[in-house]
Amino acid sequence: MYRVIRIAPEKGEELRRKAILGGFLDTTRKIREVSTEKGNFLEIPVTEAAYDSVDGFRIIEQENPEFLEKPSSLKKSLKSFLSEAELACVPAGWQILGDIIIVDIPEILENKKIRIAEALLLMYPKCRTVVRDFGIEGQFRQPKRELLLGNGTETVHKEHGCFFKQDVTKVMYSKGNLEERKRMSMLGEGEVVADMFAGIGYFSIPMAVHSRPKKITGIEINPESFAYLEENIRLNKVEDIFVPICGDCSKATPEGTADRVLMGYVGTTHHYLEPAIKALKKSGGILHYHETVPESLARSRPQERIKKAACKLGKKVEILEIRRIKKYSPGVLHVVVDARIFK
């Protein structure tokens, strides 16, 4: 059965928006004008989910439904609303976290941003919100984002068997670090681990869930990220092994106890190398040291910095691996160095 809600034309737009946000607009059929003896109406095509989502509207069966061609891309679905020049600037990618779509829309499309958000929601019926991204700022890694459609910016993102609750307008979540999050989930079994830049638990939650270290201490300086870290520890049921600390990791990281230290932060990470090495057991351990570095220096500068800090503390270094995580900006890589520190 094909269902529609018949509505006065002037109320059609409001209902169409409600149906998009509520996930019950049937995007396979056209919105149609009909004339009956009671007047002119719009027929908004809806799915069965409309019964649970709208009150006060009568859902009726539609005769002779007209179908739309399913748009295969965002550009195609916006073809009739945007000029050729505007279409050329339509974003080619976006990030989905839980039921939220995060998209970078160029300035030239400012007055088309809601149309773009609607088209995205129609492509992903399980999503409820679209936010526009303006990048990440400062030490706390706070995103600048604008809510375009929907009303909630908090979501639970599921990845690799873990839950990450977050407010996408308050904390970051890097899509480029996916492989590293998976890799961390395979390390640390039975060990004592310190995550110096824990965020909402990007690396240490997967490790806690899948490898079950003896103990993980996660230090986070941003109180908003820290609140989500605490919540994610509960959501993922790792309270028995996970100790969160709100503070500056250069002062708050426990000394002399860790087998492994995670340093998942970029920009000034090298300033934290000495506290990281001090966090390891006296006999030594493993560092996962992140750095953003010009491509030509990727194999030299990070390891030189680790060796310099270790030497100052009378320790030796064996470089185990240098991995490229992602391209950070033109000519600059985000790398992670695995290093063994020993006496």
Ligand X SMILES: C[S@@+](CC[C@H](N)C(=O)[O-])C[C@H]1O[C@@H](n2cnc3c(N)ncnc32)[C@H](O)[C@@H]1O
For residue 164, give the amino acid letter: F
What 3-state DSSP class applies to 75?
helix
Q: What is the DSSP letter of 151?
A: S
Least separation in angstroms between CB 180 and ligand X: 7
Q: Taking contact as CB under 6 A, which single stretch among the options 36-44, 72-80, 109-117, 194-202 is the one that binds ligand X?
A: 194-202
Cα 245 to Cα 81, 191, 193, 207, 250: the distances in Å are 50, 18, 13, 17, 12
Applying CB under 6 A, the site for ligand X has a residue count of 20
Q: Is 219 in the site for ligand X (CB under 6 A)?
A: yes
Taking residue 268's Cβ as centre, other Cβ atoms within 10 Å add up to 9
Q: Is 328 in the site for ligand X (CB under 6 A)?
A: no
Cα 48 to Cα 19, 52, 123: the distances in Å are 12, 8, 18
Give me the residue label for tokens 């060990």.
191
Least separation in angstroms between CB 240 and ligand X: 23
Q: Is 197 in the site for ligand X (CB under 6 A)?
A: yes
SS (H, E, C) 248-263: CHHHHCCCCCECEEEE
Q: Is 236 in the site for ligand X (CB under 6 A)?
A: no
Q: Taking contact as CB under 6 A, which single stretch among the options 8-16, 66-74, 161-169, 197-205 is the one that binds ligand X?
A: 197-205
Least separation in angstroms between CB 266 and ligand X: 7
Least separation in angstroms between CB 304 and ligand X: 22
Q: Is 249 in the site for ligand X (CB under 6 A)?
A: yes
204-211 vs 223-235: helix crossing angle, rounded to 10: 20
- With CB under 6 A as the contact rule, the residue among 15, 19, 149, 172 that binds ligand X is 172
d(CA 79, CA 82): 6
- With CB under 6 A as the contact rule, the residue among 129, 225, 269, 303 that binds ligand X is 225
Q: Taking contact as CB under 6 A, which single stretch among the options 17-25, 48-56, 81-89, 244-252 is the one that binds ligand X?
A: 244-252
The CA radius of gyration of the chain, in Å to the nearest whole number, is: 25
- With CB under 6 A as the contact rule, the residue among 3, 112, 113, 141 that binds ligand X is 141
Q: Which residues bind ligand X (CB under 6 A)?
A: 139-141, 172-174, 177, 197, 199, 202, 219-222, 225, 248-250, 264-265
